[in-house]
Amino acid sequence: MIEETMSDATARMDKAVEAAKEDFATVRTGRANPSLFSKVIVNYYGSPTPLQQLASFQNPEARTLLITPFDRSALSEIEKALRDSDLGANPSNDGNVIRVVLPELTEERRKEYVKLVRGKAEDAKIQIRNIRRKAKDGIDKAVKDGDAGEDEGARAEKDLDARTKSHTDTIDDMLKRKETELLEV
């Protein structure tokens, strides 16, 4: 019972760290890269569709991205979705591809992105702490019901705390790397 709770908590914490990593990738740094557009949703024939499923990406220059739709009829909808996104991108459409030139990051914009990344990191840590609390409740219930001894419950709780700290430290490390990446001129 306790091993099952622990393995479930660890797997869920790993997923939370992975989700945080994906969220960090969507925050723009000095270079244009396709992962910036992973959260852009396009209204494709009335259904919301991720941009990654509708087009291919090329990166000819550091701040330029070429987006080639698989279906040319979606060109205007993709362009509209890019304009409405919070990336600060100004897409231009030549009838075949959409060229997105990302503006140079100002110091003020970089600081906004750092705040945004810190918020995403805190959300991930809150998620991990919630997973810990739920697992601890499971351990306490197992001890109370007599499925596990008190010593086993105490060891499991220490192990759970260590796993929680490991995962939050991983998020802190990712945050530090992303902050230095954002503040690098």
CA dihedral 43, 62, 26, 20 (to 10 degrees): 150
pTM value > 0.75:
no
Indicate which CATH number applies to the domain containing 173: 1.10.132.20
Highest mean pLDDT: which range of 23-27, 50-54, 102-106, 157-161:
157-161
Residue where one domain finishes, among candidates 72, 101, 130: 101
- Residue range 128-144: average pLDDT? 91
Asked whether residue 169 carries a pLDDT value surpassing 80, the answer given is yes
Range of the domain at 59: 34-101
Same domain? For 136 and 87 the reply is no
Determine the pLDDT at residue 159: 92
Determine the pLDDT at residue 29: 66
Determine the pLDDT at residue 88: 67
